[in-house]
Chain A
Amino acid sequence: TQLLEQSPQFLSIQEGENLTVYCNSSSVFSSLQWYRQEPGEGPVLLVTVVTGGEVKKLKRLTFQFGDARKDSSLHITAAQPGDTGLYLCAGETSGSRLTFGEGTQLTVNP
């Protein structure tokens, strides 16, 4: 069983602060994806990382894939209330299914 552990599980910060969410596993993934989910909606894909050591930036969000392709991080700079949501990492092996972490519930207070 491939497990993805996300930390922290909950994060409440003030607008303008920086934060990092971690996603760790003992398994190697062919790709790792980050999603954001709003209440009552399905997850929405933010980014996919494929190569070990890869770094991708999406405006104020920076995603990194570990060299061994077992872990990843999401860093948000100058968080805004609109960043509030559930952030999910998901790993894929062999092009079949995604295994999700438990998620990080982020609240950014104005």
Chain B
Amino acid sequence: DTGVSQDPRHKITKRGQNVTFRCDPISEHNRLYWYRQTLGQGPEFLTYFQNEAQLEKSRLLSDRFSAERPKGSFSTLEIQRTEQGDSAMYLCASRYPGTYGYTFGSGTRLTVV
């Protein structure tokens, strides 16, 4: 297992378009998290899953954002009608039950033009 994988690494999209990102966590990790990070800031929590159940969503996750983890394995994060303010690094992390440390992926850098 090579860690948490995110795809794509970079995405440039025009304002108003929809985008979807994918995260493949470490296979034994039942918890999966999405964070957003803008330049010069620490990551901000968006949402997390335990297996296929979405247990918590941040107020940052407007109705244009939706996340799924249909079979408790990979997850997708979709942004509809993108805005320039959505430009950020979107990070996925997973964690093994009963442990503290999170393993982050390399992120997807979104640029909305």
Interface residues of A (CB under 8 A from B): 4, 6, 31, 33, 35, 40-45, 48, 50, 88, 90, 92, 96-103
Contacts and interface: CB of A to CB of B under 8 A. Distances in A.
A100 B102 contact: no
Contacts of A48: 100-101
Given A42-B91, A48-B101, A98 B109 contact: no
A43 B41 contact: no
B41 A102 contact: yes
B28 interface: no
Given A97-B48, A103-B40, A103-B41, 14 more contacts: A31-B100, A40-B109, A41-B106, A41-B107, A42-B4, A45-B101, A45-B103, A48-B101, A88-B42, A97-B45, A99-B45, A102-B41, A102-B42, A103-B42
A4 B56 CA distance: 20
Given A100-B42, A100-B43, A92 B100 contact: yes
Interface string B79-100: 0000000000001010000001
Nearest to A96: B56
A17 to B, nearest CB: 24
B100 A100 contact: no
Given A42-B91, A42-B106, A96 B100 contact: no
A65 to B, nearest CB: 12
Interface residues of B, number: 23
Of the listed residues B42, B45, B48, B105, the one surrounded by the most CB atoms of chain A closer than 10 A to its CB is B42
B60 to A, nearest CB: 12
Given A31-B100, A41-B107, A42-B107, A96 B42 contact: no
A93 B44 CA distance: 15
Contact of A100 (B44, B56, B103, B107): B44
A88 B35 CA distance: 14
A96 B48 contact: yes
27 contacts: A6-B42, A31-B100, A33-B102, A35-B104, A40-B107, A42-B91, A42-B93, A42-B104, A42-B105, A43-B43, A43-B104, A45-B102, A45-B103, A50-B100, A96-B56, A97-B33, A97-B48, A97-B56, A98-B33, A98-B43, A98-B45, A98-B102, A99-B45, A100-B35, A102-B40, A103-B41, A103-B42
